[in-house]
Every structure is written in structure tokens, then in C-alpha cells.
């Protein structure tokens, strides 16, 4: 910028009027756009302190949303920041830490005031995803279920060491974290996901985008019930959703049980009720037998039954033959004694 200015001034040196005009245009430009990089701090000014353990340390802070007390390091891991979604060339610290804009760091004792406003992800940058998320039915359901506090952008988009290091979508830590964050509230579905091939593969540490996490099937911010036609898993969309990874997915492929819940007593109860009502309402058992979850629970019962039978027979056999041996030995000893 400075060298550009110099060249301009050299070229215009012989012409005072155009120099004045040029300079006033430049001033107008600067004052209108109040460019952050000309007057305010460069990242390097912030990093001078924030990469130096002599200058900054850890700090105890209270999360303004959850009220949790957290211990955070004031040291910025430059590498982690640059690898994050906001680590590109065109991101400035003060874009997010906006209350430090125009603060003269040279003049402020110790750098700047200690408590800064929490970074606002929504107002200036991400109002679209925010609306999609905050006004969607998923958040509505959380409110109806008295879930407090509602998960924030920073809850789901935090980096491994600092909330600052917003991970990119394909970041492996983020994909793992997402499964855990959804799982915090949906414990049964989390466990049943882990009972399925997708969940087992991700549990083994393979988290690339080719294997399904919760959001690959359910969507990211707009999460709807699978029976909703608009849902990514709705009857119209499921083939496409699964088809992203399983080319050739068809109607029968999507009948696959993504959440095998053979430990869910609800399915056993509904099967028993249907059996009880078999005379009154034979339709009930017919529809229930078509449900993949019920078929799964019945198979599970048969499997456990077979296992139990095998082992009880095996156990009884061992026990009896052991008793037999002891009795035989006794008889042998007694007859020796008699002799
Ligand atoms: C002279 C050293 C120095 C400079 C330069 C500096 N900081 Fe800091 N910064 C600190 C110290 C020290 C703390 C810890 C304050 C405390 O313990 O309360 C801190 C804390 C912070 C915090 C956490 C505040 C909070 O509420 O917990 C942020 C964010 C931050 N600095 C951002 C920046 C940004 C952005 C810049 C550049 C515009 C910058 N700092 C420049 C020394 C500095
Ligand atoms: C894309 C937005 C963004 C950018 C760019 C950004 N930060 Fe932050 N920073 C955050 C968020 C979010 C937090 C978490 C605290 C909060 O919610 O306000 C944070 C927290 C911090 C903290 C407190 C430690 C912590 O882990 O909470 C420091 C220090 C800090 N940033 C310094 C910097 C410096 C220095 C830069 C420039 C190199 C920078 N930040 C760039 C968003 C950003
Ligand atoms: C319940 C967890 C969760 C919450 C809360 C959440 N997100 Fe997301 N968001 C995700 C997941 C998962 C993805 C997909 C992976 C990715 O792109 O990081 C995503 C994707 C994104 C993307 C990139 C894709 C796009 O739509 O452009 C942006 C930007 C984003 N979220 C912003 C936000 C903002 C802003 C908020 C707060 C209003 C927020 N998110 C709240 C989970 C969440
Ligand atoms: C803070 C808690 C919380 C988090 C985190 C959360 N959910 Fe939910 N979710 C709920 C509540 C509450 C409901 C409504 C009652 C229920 O089905 O348990 C719900 C409902 C759902 C539904 C059914 C929607 C409907 O319309 O019936 C799906 C699917 C779902 N969540 C998936 C997810 C996924 C995927 C994630 C991670 C991106 C996630 N949830 C994260 C609390 C949460
Ligand atoms: C392979 C795709 C897939 C993955 C991965 C997946 N689900 Fe599901 N999920 C489904 C399907 C299909 C249904 C509907 C049938 C059922 O209930 O089993 C469903 C049902 C649900 C429901 C009940 C509400 C509804 O929409 O029917 C919740 C809650 C849920 N899943 C949460 C999760 C969570 C949390 C994860 C991650 C731990 C996850 N799911 C991972 C496909 C998936
Ligand atoms: C993000 C990618 C992804 C999505 C989305 C996805 N899967 Fe998978 N799925 C995989 C991978 C990877 C495997 C393991 C490798 C393989 O195909 O054998 C797998 C395995 C399976 C298997 C085991 C059988 C087999 O092919 O070896 C079934 C069944 C299955 N998925 C069904 C589904 C259904 C139904 C959906 C949609 C509700 C779905 N998947 C969505 C990636 C995905």
C-alpha cells in the first residue's frame, strides 16, 4: 500500500492539483470504509503477546451461556488457528473480537482491558444458518422438552483446544465431536448407532466423510423427524441421502435398520400387546411383524434363547457328569473299605 502511494506521488509530483485531488479521494476512501488493516491492529500485534508465555497465561472464565467455569489458555496456537475454518489470509482477530477494533494497543497498559465481549457469530456473519437452526423445529422441540441451555453455535463448532479454532466440515475431530454432541441428548439413538456398522466403523477411529455420522443422515441445522416428507430420511429423500455413499440404493436397501434397538423394551411390549389382541385385532400383529425393529427384537430373543439353551444344556451336562464321577469315586472307596 505504502509503495503504491509513493509511486503515485512520484508520478503526480509535477502536478500539484491532481496530487491534492488524489489525496483527498484517498482520505475519503479511508474514512468511508474505515479499513481495519490501515488504522487498527494487524494480527501480528495481537500475536506478539498471545504467543508469548511471558505475556499471557491461563485465565478462569465463566461461560456466559452455560454458566460453567472454564479454565482457558490465553496462548493462541497459531497452527491450529490457521488450520481452522477462519484461519485464512482474510481473517483478522478484530473481525471477531470487535471490541478491540480501534483500541490503541501501544497506549493501553498491559495490552487491553481484561474482559472482552463474547464473540458474536450471528449478527454480522452467520445470520442465515442461525435462522435455519434457531427457528427450526429441532430447537422448538428442545424448548418444549425444557432443555436449558439450547446448544449454541460455539457448543457444536468448537475446536479441540479453543472455541476459537472453528473446525472445517471435514475435520476428523469435529466429526467425532458431532456424534458425541448429538449423543449427549439422544443416548438411546447414540448407543443404537454404535450397534450398527456405521457407528462401529466411526468408533474404530475412521471418521472420514465417506462414513455416516448423525448429520450425514439427519441433516445439519434443519433436523426433522424421519417420517416428515421434508426430512433427509423421509420416504422421498432417503434413497438420495443413502445414495450419496451407497450408489444403487433402492427401496429395499433403505429398509436397513439404522438404529437397532433390541434393548428397547417398548418394542417387546408392543409385540406382546399385539399377541394378546391377536383374536380381537389380527391386523395389529400383521403390521407389527412388518416393522424391521420388531423383526430384529424377535431375532434377538431367538438368538439369546438358543444361546441360553446351549449353555444350560452344556452346564447341566457338566454338572451331572461331575456329580456322577464323585458318586462313582465314593462307591469305589466304600467297596474297598468293605473289603
Ligand atoms: C500487551 C499484550 C497483549 C496484546 C498486544 C493483546 N493482548 Fe489480548 N490479552 C492479553 C492478556 C494479558 C490477556 C488476559 C487478560 C486477563 O487475564 O484477564 C488477554 C486476553 C485476551 C482475550 C480474552 C479476553 C476474555 O474476555 O477472556 C482475547 C479474546 C484477546 N486477549 C484478544 C486479543 C486481540 C484480538 C488482540 C489484538 C487486537 C490482543 N488480544 C492483543 C494481552 C495482550
Ligand atoms: C472467526 C472469529 C475469530 C477470529 C478471527 C479470532 N478469534 Fe479469538 N476467539 C473467538 C471465539 C469464538 C473465542 C471464544 C471466546 C468467545 O466466545 O468469545 C475466542 C477466544 C480467544 C481468546 C481467549 C481464549 C479462549 O480459548 O477462549 C484469545 C486470547 C483469542 N481468541 C485471541 C485471538 C487472536 C490473537 C486472534 C487473531 C490471530 C483471534 N483470536 C481471532 C473467535 C475468533
Ligand atoms: C447441534 C449442533 C449445531 C449447532 C448448535 C449449530 N451447528 Fe452449525 N453445523 C453443525 C454441523 C454438524 C454442521 C456440518 C459440518 C460443518 O460444516 O461443520 C454445521 C454446519 C455449519 C456451517 C457450514 C455449512 C453452512 O450451512 O453454511 C455454518 C456456517 C454453521 N454451521 C454455522 C452455525 C451457526 C452460526 C450456529 C449458531 C446459530 C450453528 N451453526 C449452530 C452443527 C451445529
Ligand atoms: C441439547 C439437546 C439436544 C441436542 C444436542 C440434539 N438434540 Fe435432537 N432433539 C432433542 C430433543 C429434546 C428432541 C425432541 C424429543 C426427542 O425426540 O427426544 C430432539 C429431536 C430430534 C429428532 C427428531 C425430530 C422430530 O421432529 O421428531 C432428531 C432426528 C434429532 N433430534 C437428531 C439430532 C441430531 C442429529 C443431533 C446432532 C446434530 C441432535 N439431535 C442434537 C434434543 C437435542
Ligand atoms: C445411516 C443413517 C443414520 C445415522 C448415521 C444416524 N441415524 Fe438416526 N435415524 C436414521 C433413520 C433411518 C431413522 C428412522 C428409523 C429409526 O428410528 O430407526 C433414525 C431415527 C432417529 C431418531 C428418532 C426420530 C426420527 O427422526 O425418526 C433420532 C432421535 C435419531 N435417529 C438420532 C440419531 C443420532 C443422535 C445419531 C448419531 C449418534 C444418528 N441418529 C445417526 C438414520 C440414521
Ligand atoms: C456418509 C456416507 C454414508 C451414508 C450417508 C450412509 N452410509 Fe451406509 N455405509 C457407509 C460405509 C462407508 C459403510 C461400510 C462400508 C461398506 O459399504 O461396506 C456403510 C455400510 C452400510 C451397510 C452395511 C452393508 C454393506 O454395504 O456392507 C448398510 C446396510 C448401510 N450402510 C445402509 C445405509 C443406509 C440405509 C443409509 C441411509 C439411511 C446409509 N447407509 C447411509 C457410508 C454411508
For 256-270, write each residue's pLDDT tens digit: 999 998 877 888 888
Determine the pLDDT at residue 16. Answer: 61
31: cell is 474514512
Contacts of 11 (CB under 8 A, 6+ apart): none
Tell me if 241 CB under 6 Å of ligand 6: yes
Average pLDDT over residues 294-301: 84
Q: Which residue pairs, CB below 8 angstroms and at least 24 apart, start in 217-224?
A: 217/241, 217/242, 217/258, 221/129, 221/132, 221/133, 221/136, 221/138, 222/132, 222/133, 222/136, 222/138, 223/136, 223/137, 223/138, 224/137, 224/138
Determine the pLDDT at residue 132. Answer: 96
Atom of ligand 5 nearest to the CA of 254: 12
Q: What is d(CA 51, CA 282) in angstroms, rounded to the nearest whole number?
A: 72
Ordered by start, the domain boundaries in the chain are 2-33, 265-338
- Ligand minimally distant from the alpha carbon of residue 223: 4
Residue 210 CA to ligand 6 center (angstroms) comes to 9
* Averaged pLDDT score across all residues of the chain: 87
Average pLDDT over residues 232-247: 96
176: cell is 467425532
CA-nearest residue, atom 11 of ligand 6 = 211
Out of 46-50, 245-249, 253-257, 274-278, least confident range: 274-278
Out of 48-52, 116-120, 194-198, 285-289, least confident range: 285-289
Tell me if 75 CB under 6 Å of ligand 2: no
Determine the pLDDT at residue 39. Answer: 44
pLDDT at 253 over 60: yes
More confident residue, 35 or 273: 273
Q: Buried (b) or exposed (e) across 176-211, using 16+ Cβ within 10 A?
A: bbbbebbbeeeeebbbbbbeeebbeebeeeebeeeb
Determine the pLDDT at residue 274. Answer: 86
pLDDT tier at 283 (50, 70, 90 boundaries)? Answer: confident
Out of 27-31, 147-151, 250-254, least confident range: 27-31
Determine the pLDDT at residue 336. Answer: 72
- Ligand minimally distant from the alpha carbon of residue 234: 5
Average pLDDT over residues 40-69: 90
pLDDT at 12 over 80: no
Q: What is d(CA 117, CA 119) in angstroms, rounded to the nearest whole number?
A: 6
Atom of ligand 3 nearest to the CA of 168: 18
pLDDT at 2 over 50: no
- Ligand minimally distant from the alpha carbon of residue 226: 5
- Ligand minimally distant from the alpha carbon of residue 199: 5
Determine the pLDDT at residue 103. Answer: 85
Tell me if 243 CB under 6 Å of ligand 2: no
Out of 3-7, 72-76, 280-284, 334-338, least confident range: 3-7
Residue 195 CA to ligand 5 center (angstroms) comes to 12
Q: What is d(CA 331, CA 336) in angstroms, rounded to the nearest whole number?
A: 9
Percent of the chain with pLDDT over 70: 86
Q: Which of 96, 155, 159 to mutate to test the pocket of ligand 2 (most atoms within 8 A of CB)?
A: 96
CA-nearest residue, atom 2 of ligand 3 = 156
Contacts of 39 (CB under 8 A, 6+ apart): 30, 102
Using a 6 Å CB cutoff, which residues line ligand 3?
A: 121-122, 126, 129-130, 133-134, 151, 153, 155-157, 169, 174, 178, 181, 215, 220-221
Determine the pLDDT at residue 114. Answer: 81
pLDDT tier at 7 (50, 70, 90 boundaries)? Answer: low
Q: What is d(CA 102, CA 80) in angstroms, rounded to the nearest whole number?
A: 26
Contact (CB, 8 A) for 52 and 104:
no
Out of 99-108, 192-201, 311-320, least confident range: 99-108
Q: Buried (b) or exposed (e) across 17-34, using 16+ Cβ within 10 A?
A: eeeeebeeeeeeeeeeee
pLDDT at 14 over 90: no
Residue 107 CA to ligand 1 center (angstroms) comes to 14
Determine the pLDDT at residue 24. Answer: 54
Average pLDDT over residues 33-46: 62
Average pLDDT over residues 212-222: 97
Amino acid at each position: 500500500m505504502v509503495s503504491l502511494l509513493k509511486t503515485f506521488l512520484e508520478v503526480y509530483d509535477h502536478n500539484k492539483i491532481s496530487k491534492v485531488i488524489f489525496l483527498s479521494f484517498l482520505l475519503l476512501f479511508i474514512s468511508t470504509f474505515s479499513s481495519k488493516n490501515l488504522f487498527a491492529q494487524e494480527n501480528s500485534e495481537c500475536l506478539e503477546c498471545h504467543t508469548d508465555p511471558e505475556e499471557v497465561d491461563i485465565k478462569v472464565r465463566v461461560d456466559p451461556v452455560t454458566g460453567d467455569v472454564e479454565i482457558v489458555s490465553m496462548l493462541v496456537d497459531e497452527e491450529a488457528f490457521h488450520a481452522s475454518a477462519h484461519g485464512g489470509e482474510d481473517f483478522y482477530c478484530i473481525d471477531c473480537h470487535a471490541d478491540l477494533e480501534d483500541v490503541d494497543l501501544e497506549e493501553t497498559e498491559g495490552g487491553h482491558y481484561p474482559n472482552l465481549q463474547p464473540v458474536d457469530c450471528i449478527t454480522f456473519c452467520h445470520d442465515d444458518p442461525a435462522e435455519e437452526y434457531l427457528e427450526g423445529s429441532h430447537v422448538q422441540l428442545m424448548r418444549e422438552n425444557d432443555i436449558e441451555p439450547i446448544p449454541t453455535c460455539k457448543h457444536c463448532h468448537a475446536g479441540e483446544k479453543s472455541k476459537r479454532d472453528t473446525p472445517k466440515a471435514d475435520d476428523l475431530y469435529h466429526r467425532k465431536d458431532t456424534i458425541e454432541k448429538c449423543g449427549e441428548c439422544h443416548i438411546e439413538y447414540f448407543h443404537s448407532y454404535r450397534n450398527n456398522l456405521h457407528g462401529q466403523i466411526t468408533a474404530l477411529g475412521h471418521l472420514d466423510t465417506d462414513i455416516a455420522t448423525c448429520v450425514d443422515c439427519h441433516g445439519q441445522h434443519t433436523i426433522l423427524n424421519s417420517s416428515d416428507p421434508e426430512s433427509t430420511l423421509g420416504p422421498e429423500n432417503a434413497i438420495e441421502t443413502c445414495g450419496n455413499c451407497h450408489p444403487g440404493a433402492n427401496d429395499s436397501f433403505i429398509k436397513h435398520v439404522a438404529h437397532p434397538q433390541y434393548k428397547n423394551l417398548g418394542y417387546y411390549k408392543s409385540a406382546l400387546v399385539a399377541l394378546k389382541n391377536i383374536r380381537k385385532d389380527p391386523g395389529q400383529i400383521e403390521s407389527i411383524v412388518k416393522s424391521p425393529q420388531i423383526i430384529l427384537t424377535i431375532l434377538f430373543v431367538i438368538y439369546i434363547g438358543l444361546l441360553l439353551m446351549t449353555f444350560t444344556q452344556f452346564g447341566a451336562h457338566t454338572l451331572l457328569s461331575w456329580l456322577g464321577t464323585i458318586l462313582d469315586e465314593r462307591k469305589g472307596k466304600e467297596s474297598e473299605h468293605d473289603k
